[in-house]
Amino acid sequence: MSTAGFNSQNGTGTGQSYANGPSQNPVAPQQLPGVGYGMTHQPTYNPMQAKAPPPPGPPGLYPSGPYQPVTPVCSYQPGLTSYPSPSGQSLLTRPLMGGPPSHTPPQSASPSPRLPPAQATPPPPAVSTSYYTNPQQPQPMAPAWQYNTAPPPMGQPASINTPPRGPVASHVNRAASSTPPLSTAYSPAPPPPHVSHSVPQPPGPGMPRSPLHGYTQPGTAPPPMTPMVPHTYQPNRAPYGPPPTGPPPTMKPAPPPIGPPMANATPPPPMADGTVAGNGPQAPNSYNHVDNKMAGPHQPGPPGRHLGHYPSLPPGYQNTSAPAMHPAIQAATQPYTQAPQPYQQPLGGPGPAQLSPSLAAMSLQSSTPEALRVVNLLQERNLLPPIPIPAPTPCLQQDLQKINCNPEVFRSTLTSIPQTQSLLNKAKMPLGLLLHPFKDLSQLPVVTSSTIVRCRSCRTYINPFVSFLDQRRWKCNLCHRVNDVPEEFMYNPVSRSYGEPHKRPEVQNATIEFIAPSEYMLRPPQPAVYLFILDVSHNAVETGYLSVFCQSLLDNIDALPGDSRTKVGFVTFDSTIHFYNLQEGLSQPQMLIVSDIEDIFLPTPDSLLVNLNECKELVQDLLKSLPTLFEKTMETQSALGSALQAAYKLLLPTGGRMSVFQTQLPNLGVGTLQSREDPNQRANAKDVQHLSPATDFYKKLALDCSGQQVAVDLFLLSSQYCDLASLGCISRYSAGSVYYYPSYHHQHNPAQVECFQKDLKRYLTRKIGFEAVMRIRCTKGLSIHTFHGNFFVRSTDLLSLPNVNPDAGFAVQMSIEENLDDMQVVSFQAALLYTSSKGERRIRVHTLCLPVVNSLSDIFAGADVQAITGLLACMAVDRSATASMGDARDAMTNAAIDSLTSFRQSVLTIQQPGLLAPACLRLFPLFILALLKQKAFRTGTSTRLDDRLFAMCQLKYQPLVYSMLMIHPALYRVDDLTDEGALNINERTIPQPRVLQLSVEKLSREAAFLMDAGTVMYLWIGRNCHPNFLTQVLGVPSYTAVPDNLYLLPELDTAESQRTRAFIGWLRDQRPFFPSLHVIRDESQLKPTFMQNMIEDRTESALSYYEFLLHLQQQISK
């Protein structure tokens, strides 16, 4: 079946490209001389040597020419290697993608340069779109991702210059307008109510700790794991099973021996200077003094005290062997929990430094773990597991892993942390964290206490991975300082016992929430404030979105999160701005029109935001009348910029959430945009233009909003180009969200209408946190340097989040500043301080513990291929905006080349032919190819610019579990669903079909297949599909009777219909957004979009999976 020549009209990605990570103040970036942790003693790894040309195939996958290698000054970067371009193709430079450079990785062991000298070209001038240049060299910037660099200093956001005041032409008397003073915006909230210690605790004695790094001996049972806590939107979901473990293929290479054992000498004591990595110089911010208020004077830990002197855990295994199965596979059949566990930390005994040595020593004592099983990718065809891939389990001792953080909340690209930066460089894999900090949890321990126990030096919250020296002292697991245990902490509210601080809920749960005392408040907690800004131009009225919005808000107005202080307001706009007086006592809402959009003002500031409980009838009257109020309008202009300025002034005293609905390109007043898309260039194989904002108006306004605790969420409903690259800035830098509905129309696109309705209901009713900040801390020796997501970086490690919602994900890149030789484990802690919709100040804390290893084989064994793919996608989005699409694509390809080269050269001791990968990375090339073909990064295929930018936004903003479906969709056969192996959830039977490879060869004209691409689902019906499926599931007598635009499955009283609808409903329930369903036939307009997701097949502009593997092998074999 040919898939050539298909055009993409999918429109299901999300958001736009941007580079918020590397720049700490995106408006006024400043270069700090000497930034970086100068580990100049390490040899350099130069990833920028040219590789050989790709195999003969379609042009456009590697659209860049040769260039001059530049010596990098940073740690491992997936090298931006170039390949000879087609004749006449311009040569592209490779600007850096991360933060400023730091130290360099080891040189590749390749015996010959990848670029012949005759092809060398002089380096072109540095590209000005990147914020940072090399602090050491004023030469062209290193064209590769900066994995381990330090952040730049913060600048001050530029203020918005108010345009000159013109003649007053509004319908409202200007003299009557006024602005409310800040102090009278709302009354102080009452103190938070006391929440009792109601954390459930299973009875029974505590469990003694066991060694930290030992594999389970062969023949012993795997460590018991407790059931996974279901996501709020995944009730009682069954655990993922293990990947298939059948007999090895006949051509499987022999397993290589693993690296040398680590000496059992006692490591030296840690540095005790009381500092913590990642907390560099901070710009002044309003929360730093809150964070440090209880710290007291700096008191370094006891000098010279040996880490082993702190009694914490029992001694390590002495003669352990590796398991027959890797812990990640063991855990696959045993679900995970966040529930509090009985956990005994005995006093006395040796500390973590005297635990078992690294995994390398034990790897030699037994067979190769499953994660390191060598796979020849060119010979083993069916590598995709039949079930979703579980997160790998860190190789920690049993009781530590039981209480470790849920990987759906906190996940590392490497579950085994290298001891040194040079070791990390040699592995050539990125080190980073992926977070879902405000995720809906079905079980969340909440603690109310007048004293929140924190380290007096680094301000880490007490957590399950600290060490108790005795009942009165505990040792911080991040900076190693010894702290006193407060008297109040001696009492355990769960068991109602005294003198057992190690049994407190804070030390039993890796995720916990505190109700904060008054020390954590700069002002009374703000009320929930919701302001809706609605486009009412002719184009907006034509789409019909206004009636859907008004009806949805009417249906859910009582479910808006909040309390008795909740406020709402409405602003509509076309060429003028319309405010609505909803003051109590009016018989009906009063519309006030301001036509002076060049100098916007608030006509009656005190009555535009009103208490919802007091004025609910007026609000409901307005929502009922709005759709008809503008139904005959012929106004085509859109003054979005002025409407946003008015809304900002309205929310200035209190903060809150601004929800903006826009249907066209702003074309009047401030923030005016011009169309920048050339439809003829949509399929340009060389590069993609206009991925960066056309103006900084929306970014500046977003930063002003962020400073006043205002977040902006953008709903874009348009069939025409709207410049999402520019408009998206208003949400990106204010910690908002972007929703995009291309070709929205209430009659012509009913599937989009359903999607909009479901998304809007979730948006209006989901949990929300106001005036939030998030700080990520890590063990001394590690450093965080680049953030990804929607936020503003207020200081080096403090993210400003005016609003935080349970659907937002974040990612960070990390480096190793100091050697971790004296540590067996490291920890990471994310603390989110926010105000709940009920007016409570709360702190949600997540702590993750990971082992430290000293061999490359152990690093590879702990690689999390999905987390690595998610982090690389975030980095590629930034690179596309700051450099070029070609650079980003090359960097992703080279990430796969470099990691597999490192495995082949440094881990394998018996060299064999073929493209060899460890089992844990067997899907890495497939995921990289999927990224190259993803809507955000594909070339050679017609892709609307807004669709591409929305896909980029989704990759940066979505939590990993959702973004992976957008990268590599799941394909199922659904015409033969059975109850065999099905799940039983809430008295519903959920079939569990196998996940199939994304190739046309898996399709059959006699069957029906469901493709789950995250934000959209496709039900493909084969031409010769069995009539039983057509009648029992679709309710049609024949294939030709299947409607063209079918998006709803009929509710038929048949077993086949119930199974199919139950399976699709189960998939939808696992995510917070609503994926639309499209039933397609061979003749359907959406069939090309469906076929473009067949990642393993060749198209006229991209290689097939097998061709891509051949290309990787060619580069690795050089």
What pLDDT score does 697 carry? 96
321 or 573: whose pLDDT is higher?
573
Mean pLDDT to the nearest integer, 503-527:
90
SS3 754: helix
pLDDT tens digits, 681-724: 766 656 788 889 999 999 999 999 999 999 999 999 988 899 99
SS3 775: strand
| DSSP assignment string, 525-538 | PPPPEEEEEEE-SH
pLDDT tens digits, 315-371: 333 333 333 444 343 443 343 334 444 334 444 333 433 333 344 334 443 467 888
Q: pLDDT exceeding 90 applies to what percent of the chain?
A: 53
By the 10 Å C-beta count (0-12 exposed, 13-18 middle, 19+ buried), 564 is classed as exposed
Instruction: Give whole-number Cα distances, 402 to 170, 211, 342, 464, 1069, in Å.
Output: 65, 14, 10, 11, 27
Confidence of residue 1099 (pLDDT cuts 50, 70, 90): confident
Structure token pair of residue 302? 């006891």
Residue with the two structure tokens 């919701």: 530
pLDDT tens digits, 947-986: 999 999 999 999 999 999 999 999 999 999 998 888 888 8
What pLDDT score does 772 carry? 95
User: Longest C-alpha distance within the chain, in Å?
Assistant: 87
User: 850 pairs with which residues across the strands?
Assistant: 826
Element (H, E) at 399: helix 398-402
CB 676 within 8 A of CB 684: no
Instruction: Give whole-number Cα distances, 236 to 227, 228, 338, 988, 990, in Å.
Output: 10, 9, 14, 11, 11
Q: Is the predicted pLDDT of residue 15 greater than 60, yes or no?
A: no
CA distance 804 to 657: 10
pLDDT tens digits, 179-212: 343 333 333 444 444 434 443 444 444 444 433 3
* Angle in degrees, 0-180, between the axes of helices 924-933 and 960-967, rounded to the nearest 10: 70
Element (H, E) at 363: helix 359-363
What pLDDT score does 684 carry? 65
pLDDT tens digits, 891-940: 999 999 999 999 999 998 888 889 999 999 999 999 999 999 999 999 87
What pLDDT score does 683 carry? 62
6 or 517: whose pLDDT is higher?
517
Q: Is the predicted pLDDT of residue 1076 greater than 60, yes or no?
A: yes
Structure token pair of residue 291? 């964070």
Q: Rounded to an integer, what is the distance from CA 483 to the centroid of its chain? A: 34
pLDDT tens digits, 383-407: 999 888 899 999 999 889 999 999 9
Q: Is the predicted pLDDT of residue 992 greater than 50, yes or no?
A: yes
SS3 119: helix
pLDDT tens digits, 72-115: 333 444 444 333 333 333 333 333 334 443 343 443 333 333 33
Name which of 288, 772, 765, 795 is nearest 526 in CA terms: 772
Q: Is the predicted pLDDT of residue 219 greater than 60, yes or no?
A: no
SS3 274: coil
Kindly give the pairing relationship between strand 810-816 and strand 432-435: antiparallel
Kindly give the pairing relationship between strand 656-662 and strand 610-611: unpaired
Q: Is the dihedral of CA 328, 333, 337, 340 positive or negative?
A: negative
One-letter amino acid of 770:
F
Q: Rounded to an integer, what is the distance from CA 319 to the centroid of its chain? A: 40
| DSSP assignment string, 895-910 | HHHHHHHHIIIII-SS
Supply the mean pLDDT for the chain.
75
**Backbone φ/ψ region at 651: left (φ over 0), alpha (ψ -120 to 50), beta:** alpha
Confidence of residue 218 (pLDDT cuts 50, 70, 90): very low
